[in-house]
Amino acid sequence: MNTKRARCGNVPCEWCDRDDRACRFCRGSGWWRPERPHQTAAGELSWARVDEPCRMCGNTGKEHNALSAPPAH
Ligand SMILES: [Zn+2]
Ligand SMILES: [Zn+2]
C-alpha cells in the first residue's frame, strides 16, 4: 500500500547504499503510525492513528542512525 523511497535525498549517503539494516523506527517499512491526540466533536479526547513517512530513515526503510552502527573493531 504505502511506497517507500529508494534514497533519503542525501548524496552520497552510506546508509542508502546498504540494504542489510532495516530502520528500527519503522521496521523497514519507511512509514510509521504514531497516535495523535484528537478532540472529537463532543469535546472528548481520543487518539487518532496517522500515517507519516518515517523521518528517521527519510522514508527509505533503511537504518539511518549512525549511533546504531556496529562498533568498529
Ligand atoms: Zn540515506
Ligand atoms: Zn524508518
Express each pLDDT in 43-53 by its tens digit.
999 999 999 99
**Rounded Cα–Cα distance for residues 25 and 51 (Å):** 13
Residue 44 Cα to ligand 1 middle (Å): 41
Give the start-end residues of each E strand in 1-73.
Answer: 31-32, 35-39, 45-49, 52-53
The pLDDT, as a whole number, for residue 65 is: 79
- Tell me the per-residue pLDDT of 2-53, one tens digit each, with 9 for 90 and over: 799 999 999 899 999 988 899 999 999 999 998 999 999 999 999 999 999 9
Who's near 7: CB < 8 A, 6+ residues apart? Answer: 13, 16, 58, 60
Q: Which ligand is nearest to the CA of 19?
A: 1
What residue segments make up the domains of the chain, in order of their start?
Answer: 8-65
Ligand 1 centre distance from Cα of residue 16 (Å)? 4
Q: Starting from the CA of residue 15, give the closest ligand.
A: 1
